[in-house]
Chains A and B, each alone.
Chain A
């Protein structure tokens, strides 16, 4: 079955620690995205990538970093510079930019 796999499902971060969230897709989609979802708020775009080895900042990129070395993979690192990292993180992909996106089941990040 084609889809998007995010891992881990739950993640805890200590102060000063960087953590990496995994996102893998087997839909053969070119574009991939990372969103943050906070209670009562809509989805906010962190980073997006339209092709391998290229990515762009979204609306709230500060304190986050990404890489896109393979078409199938788009990991997100939450750095210690992100002072309020507790949120539900969602990865998505689409055939190309602007087309309907498909989502993974998210990673919930909390602070220890």
Chain B
């Protein structure tokens, strides 16, 4: 079983839609849960992160962590064509050296 599973997509939505991106993981020791956005030919950009469990909101983006189900989500409200990118989830534990990355979900937002 992979340590993190992420649907590669592609996911295509119309402008203005609510987008839901998800990852499941297997290691209950993870404490940091991150979401990165990667545009073509660029490095991943840290969008949001959560420590432990719960929700976090930043503008149009909401990150949720459900540790009991080992499931994390990123919601994008009022999606824009500029949101078209690959979104990677990632997890790590404090003091560890290894961050586990999902393979990324490719998102297309159509104008």
Contact = CB atoms under 8 A, between A and B. Distances in A.
A105 interface: yes
B45 A99 contact: no
Name the interface size band of chain B: 20 to 34
A66 B17 CA distance: 45
B87 interface: no
Contacts of B71: none
A22 B103 CA distance: 25
B103 A42 contact: yes
Contacts, number: 62
B99 interface: yes
Contact of A98 (B43, B44, B92): B92
Q: Identify whether the interface residues of B are mostly helix, strand, loop, or mixed.
A: loop
A56 B43 CA distance: 22
B95 A101 contact: no
B44 to A, nearest CB: 5
Contacts of B92: 98-100
Interface of A: 4, 6, 31, 40-43, 45, 48, 50, 56, 58, 90, 92, 96-106, 108
15 contacts: A6-B43, A31-B97, A41-B103, A42-B88, A42-B103, A42-B104, A43-B88, A45-B98, A98-B92, A100-B92, A101-B46, A103-B43, A105-B43, A106-B43, A108-B41
